[in-house]
Structure 1
Amino acid sequence: MNKLQTVKNTQIDVNLIHTCVIILLCALCTLQLKAEKVEPDSLDRFAVSTNALYWLMTTPNVGIEIATSRRFSLAASIGYNAFNLPDKFGTPGALSNPKLNHWLVTQESRLWLRRVYEGSYFGFHLMGGKYNIGGLTWPKILRGYRYQGYALGAGLSYGHEWKLGDHWRIGASIGAGWMYLNYDKYNCGSCGKRVSHRARHIATVTNASLSFKYIFPTHRRTVIKHVPTYVEETPVVIHETPDTAHNAIEELIYEPEKEVNDTLKFGVYYDVNQHEPIQLRLNSYLDSLRGLEILAVKIDGYASPEYTAIYNLMLSERRARGVAEQIARVLGIPASGITMTAHGDDWEGLRHKAEVVMMGDEVNFILDSNSDPEIRKQDLRALSDYRVLLYRVFPLLRRTEVTIIYR
């Protein structure tokens, strides 16, 4: 009677665990999909990966990952080991029948600290699978016995990924949490006798990986949509700068033009929707002015025409103010003595740069035929070559121009 009651209690526990896992999985998926709304075509959304550590355990495995927003992704992987290891004699006259047979499915929700597929992330994972393992030299518990059953688990993990190219990544992660093990214990051998049955809850390492990932490039198409003109709503990000353009911007953080009659001019460039200058590069250029008498500093902030006019005006003001504060710190001059102007949308810069990419006629027609900035932006997005403006012209408009007069 006691044994029957124990079996029933175990079944109730297992059903409860299954229900909790399903509820958690559904809740995580729902939260991720609602966490951050972005244009689907602004992300490289799909990736496949494999865990090298799992392969060292003779277990083939594959994983997929889907970016649900700029900082959230949903990953799933499966590993399956159906191989018996070479037989050896564990006890005199008896085959140990060594094996690591199992399958394991893992789902993980990831919060990236910067953006998906780049840098560090924190994850919450759920897992489940079945196993039939034993007769192994290590760990010691597997030497004389075989364990057959199933496992469920959950845990928290930390990981980091490094770029190997535009679409390749190498990553490492480690995680710990809870596991529920339900198994039968057998004496080693092909037909060993069952010794006992147990169900255990343990705290343990639940995830470890050294993975290689390939990200499938997404074809980006221009999305024409109305952009709100009020400040209270965060503007919609129409696109992300591709890696090649991002690297070019890194090289253009400052670009000195010339030094004539004690006048220094240079530009500070930014990634999309950013306003913080890279201080080390800016400081390295300002170092040449240390100890000199600064007569005047003039700063002009600009933005590319991707957001509303009001938001771009605020963004260009933040860019100008950030550079002004840095110059004041480095050169030891009062920020109140620096002249700052926020220009917002850089229409004249767009007109000039469009000539360079052979789009001057189309851009000039749009700019001359309507003065409303929001209608202008909608017409620009409707151009068949809008991606040329997006990736070759707009990065050069996101800038702060600095003029310093000294002696």
Structure 2
Amino acid sequence: MSKKVLSICMSLLLASIVQAQNEQQDSYLPTLGIKTNLLYGATTTPNLGVEFGLSPKLTLDISANYNPWEFSDNKKIKHWLVQPELRYWFCERFNGAFMGLHAHYAEYNVGGIKILGLKGIRYEGNLYGGGISVGYHWILSKRWSIETTIGAGYAHLDYSKYKCGTCGNKVKESNRNYWGPTKAGINLIYMIK
């Protein structure tokens, strides 16, 4: 009797493997995309991201941003930022709604921007932290997609404060803990495969 049960179990297991392979061949799930965040681009920050499929419902998104520009009157939002994120997709990867868990690290040199309260002062330092995000991905064609995402979390900022944009003595050296928005994006995506 145990040989008969073992034989049935082996047959069911083999049938399940064959069915899973057939389903995998029948459905197309993208595995790799490159992207750019149009919101960051609007702030003169060139950026590029890549997203890898890890499983049918998990992806790893890694974005990098770099702003080297200095504007008139010593206005600047110079920085570089890297932000990896593990995403869980509610439907299937690269389709529909997702939740993410992200980390971030940046170095910055910002100042002279009145709207940010930085008229006549400059901050230089680094930050690190993490957060959670939600988003939605729309498939436009086999190769093109667009997604929106927003996230909130924590960042620890270490900084030096200066009186003017390019000169001046250091006024303060300190750190700050920040809780609030940590991510926002409207991403244009090209699926490589």
Relative to the length of structure 2, the TM-score reads: 0.84
5+ residue gaps, structure 2: 1-19
Shift of 1:42: 5.6
Structure 2 residue 184 is the aligned partner of structure 1 residue 198: no
CA offsets 1:110-157 (integer angstroms, 9 cap, x no match): 0000001100000000000100000002112x1221000000010000
Shift of 1:43: 3.4
Q: Which residue of 2 aligns with 1:49?
A: 35
CA distance in structure 1 between the aligned counterparts of 2:106 and 2:33, rounded to whole angstroms: 23
SS of residue matched to 1:198 = strand
Q: Which residue of 1 aligns with 2:78?
A: 101
Poorly superposed stretches of 4+, deviation over 4 Å: 37-42
CA distance in structure 1 between the aligned counterparts of 2:182 and 2:143, rounded to whole angstroms: 28
Structure 2 residue 124 is the aligned partner of structure 1 residue 137: no
More helix by share: 1
SS of residue matched to 1:192 = coil
The one-letter amino acid paired with 1:77 is S
CA contact (8 A) 2:111 2:165 kept: no
CA offsets 1:167-211 (integer angstroms, 9 cap, x no match): 211111110000000000001131121100111111010000011
CA contact (8 A) 1:153 1:206 kept: no
CA distance in structure 2 between the aligned counterparts of 1:121 and 1:192, rounded to whole angstroms: 46
CA contact (8 A) 1:101 1:132 kept: yes
5+ residue gaps, structure 1: 1-36, 88-96, 218-407
Q: Which residue of 2 aligns with 1:58?
A: 44
Q: Which residue of 1 aligns with 2:125?
A: 149
Q: Map 1:4-403 onto structure 2 (within 5 A).
A: 43-87=29-73, 97-140=74-117, 142-217=118-193
Q: Which residue of 2 aligns with 1:17?
A: none
Superposition RMSD in Å: 1.8
The one-letter amino acid paired with 2:66 is Y
The one-letter amino acid paired with 1:62 is L
Using CA pairs under 8 Å that are at least 6 residues apart, name the structure with larger relative contact order, 1 or 2. 2
Structure number with bigger Rg:
1
CA distance in structure 2 between the aligned counterparts of 1:189 and 1:214, rounded to whole angstroms: 39
CA contact (8 A) 1:157 1:176 kept: yes
SS of residue matched to 2:113 = coil
SS of residue matched to 1:138 = helix
Aligned length: 171
Relative to the length of structure 1, the TM-score reads: 0.41
CA distance in structure 2 between the aligned counterparts of 1:163 and 1:192, rounded to whole angstroms: 51
Query: Percent identity of the aligned residues?
Result: 37
SS of residue matched to 1:144 = coil
SS of residue matched to 1:68 = strand
